Amino acid sequence: MPIRDILRRNLGYKVISLVLAIVFWVWLTSQNNSSIFSKNIDTRQLVFYNQPSNIGIISPVPTITIRIDSSSQESSVKDLVAYVDLKDAVAGESTYDVQINAPEGIKVEEISPKTVTLKLDRLEDKIVKVQANVKGEPASGYEAGELLFTPSVVNVRGPASVLANLTSVTVDVEFTDLTESKSVVRPVYFTDNQNAGIFDANPYPTLQAFPDTVEVIMPVYAKGTASKTVPLRVVTKGTPADGMEVRLVTPLPSQVQLVGKEEELKAVEYLNLGTVDISGITSTKTINVSLNSIVLPKGVSFSKGTKISVMVYVGAKAENEILKAIPVGIKNIPDGLTADNIQPIDVTVSGYPDILKALKQEDISCWIDAKGLKEGTYSDVLVLWEVPSGVTMVSIPKVQLVLKASTATSGDNKE
Nearest to 172 by CA among 163, 185, 158: 185
Share of the chain above pLDDT 70, in %: 84
- For residue 85, the SS3 value is strand
Q: Answer whether residue 308 shows pLDDT above 80.
A: yes
Name which residue leads in pLDDT, 60 or 30. 60
Q: What's the pLDDT score for residue 36?
A: 45
pTM metric for this prediction: 0.52
Render pLDDT for 372-387 as a digit per residue (tens, 0 to 9): 999 999 999 999 999 9
- For residue 77, the SS3 value is helix
Q: Report the mean per-residue pLDDT for the chain.
A: 83
Render pLDDT for 127-182 as a digit per residue (tens, 0 to 9): 999 999 999 999 998 888 888 888 888 999 888 888 888 888 999 999 999 988 88
Q: Answer whether residue 390 shows pLDDT above 70.
A: yes
Q: What's the pLDDT score for residue 413?
A: 41
Render pLDDT for 188-219 as a digit per residue (tens, 0 to 9): 998 765 555 555 443 445 788 899 999 898 88
Q: What's the pLDDT score for residue 1?
A: 53
Cα(126)–Cα(351) distance, integer angstroms: 16
Domains and CATH numbers, the chain: 36-121 (2.170.120.30), 226-317 (2.170.120.40), 319-414 (2.170.120.30)
Distances in whole angstroms, Cα of residue 12 to Cα of each of 6, 20, 113, 301, 395: 13, 12, 46, 105, 93
Q: Answer whether residue 69 shows pLDDT above 60.
A: yes
Render pLDDT for 73-124 as a digit per residue (tens, 0 to 9): 555 567 788 899 998 888 889 999 999 887 777 778 888 899 999 999 988 8
Residue type for 340, please? D
Cα(156)–Cα(389) distance, integer angstroms: 14
